[in-house]
A and B are shown apart, each in its own frame.
Chain A
């Protein structure tokens, strides 16, 4: 099997959306377009109860075929890389399951194989996770309540790049922030293979009193399509492109 190119949106937020279309619907749309949506809800280290509205985090990721996690600020770095990896494995497993069903018939999934064969399939999935190309669009909620968490977010993104760049497959990252009064989302970092020291990022922020998570997700989806032509040509050969499951 040839390693393909996986696409993910990683949404970092700390509250519920209160403006524009339903983010769950947009996430489902993204999934159909072959883009997985992962969501991480970031809590204050001192916050001891789960605030209302964060249930949304789980629903968005579920609709987006991705992984969700609600974490305290201090464990953000490790969570960001874990969620990204889990979602990669999940997507690859989905593709492999589809292949298995074509060969072995309906309802046949990795879980239902005898342990011996399962072991072999899992090796293949692991190999693909190591060698596939990956595009991650990071979408950061920069509304007022997130401001003091942004240094941690910056650190976590650097760490994510460190983790993923240890793989043999190539990576592309970009970072967007929302809300933005004019364009809904603001491009912070253009597509780059490495999120190095993110100096000055998040320094000029516009924060209104609203959280348009749905519209922001939609814009993020467009941003995937607006990638340079050379990249889209490569995507054309992508076996994962049409896997809208």
Chain B
């Protein structure tokens, strides 16, 4: 990354060259792939996240994505878009910036500390239902990784949609650990299954926070890491199915996670009872599990909307 010539400190004021809106910087939130994100306050007193970058084209691509998803009705995919403009710094250089919804949350790693094991499955379901919505819109997330997620109000939120790609195009941005191409498990074409693979790697990372490299036999490495993880034992089969390309879409994978979570919570039913569940009944169970999960997710989103 190039050194930035400009200096933005808390209290700095950024005025837009085109739209004329002014934002006061509160603090730095973090550095993204192509810029720095700050917490800021608008002249109306609202709090937003503001990203300043160098590469104007890349910033515009991100804005285009944010705008697209602000328009999607119902499900909220990524932060909503507020403003885009250029800021001329005191040294007369022009820096593109954009303003979006501020998502207050904690990184996945911190969130999972001290939580029960079931959260692994719940996070997976939340991710998959967002992906289901995104895929239905004709897009693939692309660079899906732990760094691009925050948990606010017990709900996963995407904070960086810079890698979102129209289905059928080439993935332009990826992180090796989450990339199926790196693991020899498929192409870098933007397909729903590309994101599903990344979800399994986010799950593996919960077990191996320091991640791991592919070694000489990538497929064997993955299998070995998966079987050595007690945390992922309940989901091992789903993850393997995903790797073998047997799961086609997010909804299907989500349902599989839902049914596992429901089975595990039914402590009273003995193994024999579970065996007796015929296919018909397990269908019903799956349906019940789904509606339960949907209820929970809906409840949480209403709750988060309220505050």
Judge whether B188 is part of the interface by a CB distance below 8 angstroms: yes
Known contacts A115-B86, A130-B169; is-contact A163 B181 (Cβ 8 Å): yes
Give Cα A122–Cα B85 distance, bound, in whole angstroms. 15
Assess the B57–A123 pair: CB atoms within 8 A: no
Interface string of A110-125 (1 = CB under 8 A from B): 1100110011001101
Assess the A115–B18 pair: CB atoms within 8 A: yes
Residue of A nearest to B85 (CB): A115
Judge whether B94 is part of the interface by a CB distance below 8 angstroms: yes
Assess the B187–A122 pair: CB atoms within 8 A: no
Interface string of B183-216 (1 = CB under 8 A from A): 0000111100000000000000000000000000
Assess the A89–B57 pair: CB atoms within 8 A: yes
Known contacts A110-B57, A163-B170; is-contact A119 B64 (Cβ 8 Å): yes
Give Cα A162–Cα B85 distance, bound, in whole angstroms. 36
Q: Number of B residues contacting the other chain (C-beta, 8 Å)?
A: 25
- Residues of B within 8 Å of A159, CB to CB, are 181-182
Stretch at the interface among A164-172, A184-192, A201-209, A220-228: A164-172
Interface string of B157-183 (1 = CB under 8 A from A): 000000000001111100010000110
Judge whether A235 is part of the interface by a CB distance below 8 angstroms: no
Known contacts A126-B61, A163-B170; is-contact A110 B56 (Cβ 8 Å): yes
Contacts from A to B (Cβ < 8 Å): 77-78, 85, 89, 93, 110-111, 114-115, 118-119, 122-123, 125-126, 130, 159, 162-168
* Additional 15 contacts, C-beta under 8 A, given A115-B86, A126-B61: A85-B172, A115-B60, A115-B85, A119-B63, A119-B67, A122-B60, A122-B61, A125-B57, A130-B169, A162-B187, A165-B187, A166-B170, A166-B171, A166-B187, A166-B188
What are 26 A-to-B residue pairs whose CB atoms are below 8 Å?
A77-B176, A77-B182, A110-B56, A110-B57, A111-B56, A114-B18, A115-B85, A119-B60, A119-B64, A119-B67, A119-B84, A122-B57, A122-B60, A122-B61, A123-B64, A130-B169, A159-B181, A159-B182, A163-B170, A166-B170, A166-B171, A166-B187, A167-B169, A168-B168, A168-B169, A168-B170
